[in-house]
Amino acid sequence: MKMFDYDAYQLLKKYGIPVAKYDLAKTKADAWKMAKGIGYPVYMKVDSPDIVHKAALGCVDIVKQDADKAFDRMMTKARKITGNINGIIIQEQLSGVEAIVGAKRDEQFGPVVMFGTGGPMAEAAKDTVFRLVHLSRKDASEMIDSTKIGVFLNKKGFKKHKLEKIILNVSRLIDKNKDIAELDINPVFLPAGVAADVRIILQKGFSH
């Protein structure tokens, strides 16, 4: 089962992983106020464990104005899919180089951490590396350097300390939370080192 996105963002923050500014709108009035406070354009994302692939279902959008109207439109689509809806995440729009940091519980090796090229083409890029927890800073640095995105960032003179810290904190998170089966932070925007989207899958028998 997928964790509510709002709870997932809160968990990232608890483990020292920076997250793009966000809030949870329960009503269209909330959406209007939050979007104005964060500043347009904003991402709006339906928060439901039953909706994993939001884009394909019209449950995520970049909104440049009238967040209240967008709230009604997206909730109408979401309610045709499920009644288990937490609200709509209102989040600032960021830009930069897109990386992915993740973790999962491997049946053979136990918890492992992943790093690589992120964004919508993450899977097609085939640019990921895995390491067992518990990681050292040297391990995190080597993970970055062994990928194409890492080579690109080094050529640009990118300082790795923010990204190393995120990788180490994800390692700590998956190690300490036995209920988590899988975690993907995609994208992490660089060089800012800020998470803009997260998906956490819970092991069977667990719930938050």
Residue pLDDT, tens place only, 34-59: 999 999 999 999 999 999 889 889 99
- Cβ burial of 192 (10 Å; 0-12, 13-18, 19+) is middle
Say yes or no to pLDDT of 62 above 70: yes
SS (H, E, C) 4-43: CHHHHHHHHHHCCCCECCEEEECCHHHHHHHHHHHCCCEE
| Mean predicted lDDT score pLDDT of the chain | 95
In this structure, are 134 and 188 located in the same domain?
yes
Mean pLDDT of 102-113: 94
In this structure, are 108 and 193 located in the same domain?
yes
Q: Is residue 33 part of a domain?
A: yes
Residue that is last in its domain, among 92, 117, 134: 92
| Domains in the chain, number | 2
| pTM of structure | 0.94
Q: Is residue 196 part of a domain?
A: yes
Say yes or no to pLDDT of 109 above 70: yes
Q: What is the pLDDT of residue 207?
A: 56
Residue that is last in its domain, among 65, 92, 119: 92
Fill in the DSSP letter of residue 57: G
Fill in the DSSP letter of residue 44: E
In this structure, are 117 and 190 located in the same domain?
yes
Q: Is residue 197 part of a domain?
A: yes
Model confidence pLDDT, tens digit, residues 168-187 = 999 999 999 999 999 999 99
Q: Is residue 4 part of a domain?
A: no
* CATH number, position 31: 3.30.1490.20
Enumerate the H helices of 39-128 as residue ranges: 67-79, 122-125
Q: Is residue 194 part of a domain?
A: yes
In this structure, are 27 and 78 located in the same domain?
yes
Model confidence pLDDT, tens digit, residues 148-163 = 999 999 999 999 999 9
In this structure, are 32 and 124 located in the same domain?
no
In this structure, are 196 and 128 located in the same domain?
yes
Model confidence pLDDT, tens digit, residues 128-150 = 999 999 999 999 999 999 999 99
In this structure, are 75 and 108 located in the same domain?
no
Secondary structure element (H or E) that encloses residue 137, with its range: helix 137-145
Q: Pairing mode, if any, of strands 87-92 and 22-25? A: antiparallel
Mean pLDDT of 73-81: 96
Q: What is the pLDDT of residue 129?
A: 97
Q: Residue 182: phi, psi to the nearest 5?
A: -155, 145
Q: At what angle do helices 137-145 and 161-176 cross, to 10 degrees?
A: 120
Fill in the DSSP letter of residue 203: P
Residue that is last in its domain, among 92, 109, 127: 92
Domain range for 35 is 21-92
In this structure, are 31 and 75 located in the same domain?
yes
